[in-house]
Amino acid sequence: MFWHMSGFSAASAVETILDKESFTLEELLDEDEIIQECKAHNGRLVSFLRERAQVKQLIRYIMEEAPEDASKQFSFKLPFVACEIFTCEVDIILKTLVEDEELMDLLFSFLDPERPHSTLLAGYFSKVFVCLLLRKTTPLMNYIQAHQDIITKLVDLIGITSIMEVLIRLIGVDEHIYANCADSMQWFEDMNVLEMIVDKFSSSDCPGVHANAAETLCTIARYASAGLASKTSSPSFIGKLFRHALEDSRPKSVLVNSLSVCISLLDPRRLTSGMYYMYNRQTSQGSGITANPETVEGILESLGELLKLLDLSSEDRVLLTSYGKLQPPLGKHRLKIIEFISVLVAVSSEVAEKELIRLSALKHILELFFEYPYNNFLHHHVEQIVISCLESKNCQLVEHLLSECNLIGKILESERNSTLTVDATKPTICAEGKSPPRIGNIGYVTRLANKIVQLGNSNREIQTFLQDNGDWVDWQTNVLLKRNAVENVFHWVCGRPSTLQDRTRDSDDDDYQDRDYDVAALANNLSEAFQYGNYTNDVISEDVFFDDKSAEVVISSLPLEDDQETGGSHFTKSDWSAFEDERIVNEHSTDNGGPDNVVEDLKDDTAMSELPESSPTSDGNNVPSQVSKDLTEIESTGSHNLIANSANISDDEAQSPIIPNDEAVVSSDTCKTDGVGSTDSTLASQSAEVGEKNEDLEK
């Protein structure tokens, strides 16, 4: 329990068990309240759980597989609760564990290769290990340094994601953990843990092992200490990585994940997994990515062998698609190579650019761009490569792209032949018996063309090259400009999409006010708000509507464009005056109180006065009920005129509210009588007087 109140709170089930003369650990673990009692530092419970025998049994629950015929309680609940007790971070329980080497041996025996390693138990082991690493860093690291085979066992089990997370934490991604253990960081740097991880690319054929090994190395490259990061950037480390990746006998997953590591080494800020980064961060080129020259040097040594894998002639696989077939399909490994080239070009290394020109890498990549017209992942990376080259300060690279790679000619050729080819020698072939569909990269072609025109305005070499090409000038004038006019959403009659203006802006940077207003929908919503009484506690007539004039007043007060910075309400105090008259009328048109109701006193300020008990008139009817009936008639006959005319009545004349049909509301003074017939006579005289005044008002 979170609290104990003498005489009011019932004893918890845990306390009931602890009160017994004899009980077992399983009985306690089976109670639902044990975890919260442990977090509340229940003294009796903690004293029991801190015992060596109980800690030992808790460890067994989280590391030993349950028998096949075991109940769900023994298979799932007991290991879970045992893990949660450790992660409650009760210091005295953790101290019992780390100070007993036999218990630590039992815990880390989970890593022994002969034991089964289920994903569930690996997750429990990971949580307990991280808890010890955070709370008992020094004794844990002393134990690991005394048993160095633990690192080897962790690397061998790197294919299990929970164990991978343990290894990442242990190597030193969280530097604050080792703030007081500098020798531990140095110990990891002196070990050959990086080499052990890289060797998993050659010793295992499991794609999961390759992916987790690459993720570990990428995390080290981004976050680990300077000593480990410098090792990953060394030419020897990169050379070893490429040797494993380029082995013919190795699966393609080795190549793909090895290139992910290289991408992280070139651009540590780049998150290699996740399309969010790809389309929101990579779109800004020329961002000044600087890579270690030694890293670039190590990569260029194997670049030629890597580009050979882009060749399609050595592969005869066929993939059927809805539009035809691919022979062969591009493949994930080729796509990863092109992504790697896009990062290498963005580094702006002159040595790398010369090597790419010498190997004709850009020419081959552009050919793939047009040979696979429906692979948008490929088109995205090629677009980044082209833009990085055009924005490069290396004039030789720009000339190579425009002249030797024939970028302009390929763009014009794709525009002339904008349908899928039926040539059987091409990688992408149209299905037989179907009309050729339109190629799917026209959008990227248009964006590239516009980028070339934009850069030509500031680059004389590009502008001269474009002006000397008559076909380009003709296509730009007759096709590109018209296409841009049609696709310019800012000129669409329906308006522009509100989120299209800033495609590269992070969602966290979006201002909730930075969006367009649908004026028609806004007016309709405001009309419904006033109709159903969202801005008042009174009931408003169903006939209330939000007319065009009122909508104009409200919409003019909205903080659009430059007014957005002011914030606050969409309405100003003065704008509400436009609706005040109609609000008053609607308040008057409702009768909520029954016979003893509050009735209008139509003075200049339309104040309200109370009506007394119902008094019978000469015709036997109650005055208030008649007033209520006439108020209903006001609504249908036009209450606006009544309010407007009431402003011209003098104070003396406004003593009694005027009601149509020559009737008057009776004040409290009028109802005071000395005899039986005085009230009737008074009402009759006032009714005649009011009738004359009402005729004057109508005139």
SS3 29: helix
At 344-369, the pLDDT tens digits run 999 989 999 999 999 999 999 999 99
Q: Rounded to whole angstroms, how far apart are CA atoms 459 and 475?
A: 20
Give the model's confidence band at 668: pLDDT under 50 very low, under 70 low, under 90 confident, else very high: very low
What single DSSP character describes residue 393? Answer: S
Same-domain check for residues 614 and 534: no
Determine the number of helices (DSSP H) and then strands (DSSP E) in the chain: 39, 7
Residue 668 inside a domain? The answer is: yes
Residue 459, Cβ density class (10 Å: 0-12 exposed, 13-18 middle, ≥19 buried):
middle
Domain interval for residue 572: 511-583
Question: Would you state the pLDDT for residue 596?
Answer: 44
Residue 244 in any domain: the answer is no
State the pTM of this model.
0.67
3-state secondary structure at position 419: strand
With beta carbons less than 8 A apart as the criterion, state whether 335 and 377 touch: yes
For residue 647, is it within any domain?
yes
Instruction: Say how far apart CA 374 and CA 357 lie, in whole Å.
Output: 27
* Percent helix / strand / coil, the chain, rounded to 5: 60, 5, 35
Residue 333 lies in a domain: no
Of 541, 559, 583, the residue that ends a domain is 583
- What's the token pair of residue 363? 């020419």
Buried b / exposed e over 550-586, threshold 16 CB at 10 Å, is: bbebbbebbeeeeeeeeeeeebeeebeebbeebbbbb
Query: How far is the C-alpha of 135 from the C-alpha of 130, rounded, in Å?
Result: 9
Within-domain flag for 374: no
State whether 572 and 661 are in the same domain: no
The pLDDT tens digits of the residues spanning 430-470 come to: 988 888 999 999 999 999 999 999 999 999 999 999 999 99
Same domain for 551 and 648: no
The owner of tokens 């296509």 is 475
**Which residues are CB-neighbours of 229 under 8 A, at least 6 positions away?**
220, 221
Q: How many domains are contained in the chain?
A: 2
Q: Which two tokens stand for residue 25?
A: 């650990």
Which amino acid is it at 695?
E
pLDDT in tens, 18-49: 888 888 899 999 888 899 999 999 999 999 99
Residue type at 319?
A: L
Residue 166 placed within a domain = no
Residue 165, burial from CB neighbour count under 10 angstroms (0-12, 13-18, 19+): buried
321 or 586, higher pLDDT: 321
Domain end residue (candidates: 559, 583, 607): 583
The 3-state DSSP class for residue 429 equals: strand
Is the domain of 605 the same as that of 685? yes
Q: Given 583, 616, 639, which residue is the final one in a domain?
A: 583
Asked if residue 155 has pLDDT above 70, the reply is: yes
Q: Are residues 598 and 670 in the same domain?
A: yes
Who's near 89: CB < 8 A, 6+ residues apart? 131, 135
Q: Are 388 and 342 in contact (CB under 8 A)?
A: yes
120 near 79, Cβ under 8 Å? yes
91 SS3 class: helix
Judged against a pLDDT cut of 50, whether residue 541 lies above it is answered with: no
Q: Please tell me the total number of residues recorded for the chain in this structure.
A: 699
User: Token pair of 198, please?
Assistant: 């890289």
According to DSSP, the residues that pair with 375 across neighbouring strands are none
